[in-house]
Structure 1
């Protein structure tokens, strides 16, 4: 019996719905807090007027043009990164896997730094395009080195670690040799949504929407990946094709989020484990729980990052890494030294 089926047996009826509802509430409260608090004070009356009023005042423009797209971008990027982490763990049957393992973050960072150094008129849309291309290139390189659709978890881990450290070393070397051109990249490399705009919301929306449709259509096949490949093949499952589809989804979800917000640490790894501990391993509940919790955590982390060095902004990646490491250690210790 797989760990997923055991988790389903341990889950009480109604518990997944309760935690999914609480995650949705946390996400809503985080968005409200993100709109209310920051460098500029906003009253509750002014916030309500900015959301439902005609939008003529300075507060209205501040909330609508700066804070609302920032909160929505954090929500969508958090959901995408968390789902990408869950898919990576399902497809590889490796509880410690994340999109980092596929060279997505390292590839995006490397291509953007190359653009900053080599292209004089470097713009934000170009940065997004290069980041997404780099994420795809890193993932394809890892996929090829690991053997394509048929690989072992060990092969994938070795290929991913090799590509990640190689591209990270090249990125750091280029930044050291071209410090004047790459100073503006510091926030992006740590992970930040402070510069988010409505353009970012429009860019992320189709990626998230199409990926969710694709993911829910793929759920029946993903359930069989929890068993051994031989058993899944015996049941008529095309394991290589399902894994390839899962990795395409990882690229779409994580690549677009990293392109806009940078490589935000630990979110992909820790959120699926927290979600599984709360609602069990049934994918019908695990997928929405992971998406909601990922969005809520990134929105709340972005809100907390505004007060670390107030009135100056701090990268949200600092908060997610600071929270993710002890949470992951606590979860591993609570489960007796194993993470399922």
Structure 2
């Protein structure tokens, strides 16, 4: 009975299928974005037509079907193959630094392709792929033998792989230097990319990818046993030699097929399994598919970035994967396990700074997300502008229409979204830390509703003065909520309940004020009350960023004492911190930040609420994690606005999408707090 109950509990808490489904859904969205973006503008209608009702006379559909679709499928196949191969080779060798590119397999396959092409005259992928298999198998066997066979250590395998890779590369260069034309072809091919992939190429090579995946599936069931040690695996009835041969065959099939399709691509097979392990347990049957999905996404992202205006649309995906994967690899290799905080010393000449690694990694990742979302927001809109057109507008070389759309409309909207989201993220993290409760966010306890009502009243009475009204409304709401919740002390759950009541009351007051306006004003104000970034201009950018320039340094300065407020009141006082004054300062600063965001973007529900918990999860911090919270708020806000702009035929406010994100998080936090007995 107990074993049956335990099995059901494990099944109920197994999140791996959900992680796979969520990753697959994200990959589908990324693939659609890759088909949509490019130098030639296409609409979503063009994309739908190309995929469902192909018109061979439509130039936009031709671009999608004949150029972008083969490129996308190639990137998906190559990334998935390298991710699965990396998971298999790391599991088989029990070496976290194992990778087809580092252990000579890719170099051997490349040597096979070059030899078949330049010596034997094979031009069809279906022909030279067999030479790629031979070269890859030769490279794998040679590295394994040079590295010490079954007794090979990780360092020795890496050295053997480096030596063999250098040998293969020297042989390849010797071949291609015989012909100037060969050298010209090789120097682009060796970068790894999908420029020359056609539907014919995919038709010739896809069976090899499928075969590799099927062999990998069969091998995956044996790798977990090998990870226990060869003696233990034999005791479990596993044929160790056969298992290794099967794993090696899968790795060579997947890696060599990728080389034949796109050239040698490094780092993907190395870093993707580490990324997958962050969300999956070591079970290779789950880890390998997750690594395949992550690898496909990374490769599509690398190809999309390489086609962007930043690199002139000419950067190969293999180079981009190295640019993306290199920094990630550095942190993955240096990462240590466990919950203990690890410090990293950064040095800038005579100046050094000790920082926690995980928050630094999270911050870099969030910055990258903000940058990607901002780039997508510049590209997507009713008026199509290519990445090259965006770059020309930013550098002052675009025509008047493109410059107006980018500089006067899209860029101010993006900057306003980032600033407003950062302000709300800071405010939410500060209040949640001060009250030691993830539910006690400004938009839950009435601060945001007060600022919203104050701003609306100011607009109706004066036609302006939005910031002053938001500050006054937020301050009055905060004072009233704290005063009403105070009963011989400040109980956080009492504060939350009082704040919820205040939010409902202030929301009703805002609706009442709205009823006194004319039809046109009511429509505009209703959109603003939901939270919108529509028609934001330089004035809003100057306001929000000017406010952040004054308030953010104060918030960061309060970060140290705020982190100590996670302890009990007696401990905080025992540390010599003025508890009451700190609470007043944090409350005042949070109100100011909320008012600043509300004045330029409306209330934007749940942004302040979700930013703190997400930031703490990402950084592994029990404290406020203020920089990560600000970046999280910016990411959520910018992503919500991008989603709102992507809905066809209607101009939805961004607040609709921030609510769609925040509501499930609220339900989850309520469940967590209930399980902990805090509700």
TM-score bucket (shorter structure)? 0.7 to 0.9
Aligned match of 2:78:
77
Q: CA deviation at 1:172?
A: 3.2
Aligned match of 2:30:
30
1:44 is the counterpart of 2:50 = no
Q: CA deviation at 1:102?
A: 4.1
Comparing 84-93 and 192-201, the one that deviates more: 192-201
Give runs of aligned pairs for residues 83-102 of structure 1, distance below 5 A.
83-102=84-103
Q: CA deviation at 1:185?
A: 1.6
Aligned match of 2:18:
18
1:298 is the counterpart of 2:299 = yes
Aligned match of 1:6:
none
TM-score by length of 2: 0.45
Comparing 159-168 and 128-137, the one that deviates more: 128-137
Give the match's secondary structure for 1:269: helix
1:86/1:268 contact within 8 Å kept: yes
Q: CA deviation at 1:144?
A: 4.8
Aligned length: 326
Q: CA deviation at 1:272?
A: 0.4
Whole-angstrom distance in 2 between the partners of 1:99 and 1:173:
23
2:88/2:216 contact within 8 Å kept: no
Structure 1 gaps of 5+ residues are: 1-9
**1:238-259 CA deviation, whole Å, 9 max, x = no partner?**
2222111100110011111111
Structure 2 gaps of 5+ residues are: 1-9, 343-679
Comparing 38-47 and 139-148, the one that deviates more: 139-148
Give runs of aligned pairs for residues 187-266 of structure 1, distance below 5 A.
187-266=188-267
Distance 1:170 1:216, change over 3 A: closer
Aligned match of 1:135:
136
Q: CA deviation at 1:122?
A: 5.6
Whole-angstrom distance in 1 between the partners of 2:321 and 2:52:
32
Give the match's secondary structure for 2:194: coil
1:104/1:135 contact within 8 Å kept: yes
Give runs of aligned pairs for residues 271-310 of structure 1, distance below 5 A.
271-307=272-308
Distance 1:310 1:276, change over 3 A: closer
1:102/1:139 contact within 8 Å kept: yes
RMSD: 2.7
Whole-angstrom distance in 2 between the partners of 1:309 and 1:87:
35
1:89/1:97 contact within 8 Å kept: yes
Distance 1:318 1:158, change over 3 A: closer
2:79/2:298 contact within 8 Å kept: yes
**1:282-311 CA deviation, whole Å, 9 max, x = no partner?**
223212211111111111111111015555
Give the match's secondary structure for 2:234: helix
Q: CA deviation at 1:32?
A: 0.7
Higher RCO (CA 8 Å, separation ≥ 6 residues): 1
Distance 1:145 1:331, change over 3 A: closer
Comparing 280-289 and 258-267, the one that deviates more: 280-289
Give the match's secondary structure for 2:246: helix
Give the match's secondary structure for 1:248: helix
2:144/2:152 contact within 8 Å kept: no
Give the match's secondary structure for 2:265: coil
1:113/1:182 contact within 8 Å kept: no
Whole-angstrom distance in 2 between the partners of 1:131 and 1:308:
34
Whole-angstrom distance in 1 between the partners of 2:257 and 2:99:
15
1:81/1:294 contact within 8 Å kept: yes
**1:151-176 CA deviation, whole Å, 9 max, x = no partner?**
43356444433322211222234445
1:49/1:60 contact within 8 Å kept: yes
**1:290-335 CA deviation, whole Å, 9 max, x = no partner?**
1111111111111111015555422101111111111122233442
1:135/1:255 contact within 8 Å kept: yes
2:191/2:318 contact within 8 Å kept: yes
Whole-angstrom distance in 2 between the partners of 1:28 and 1:11:
27
Aligned match of 2:63:
62
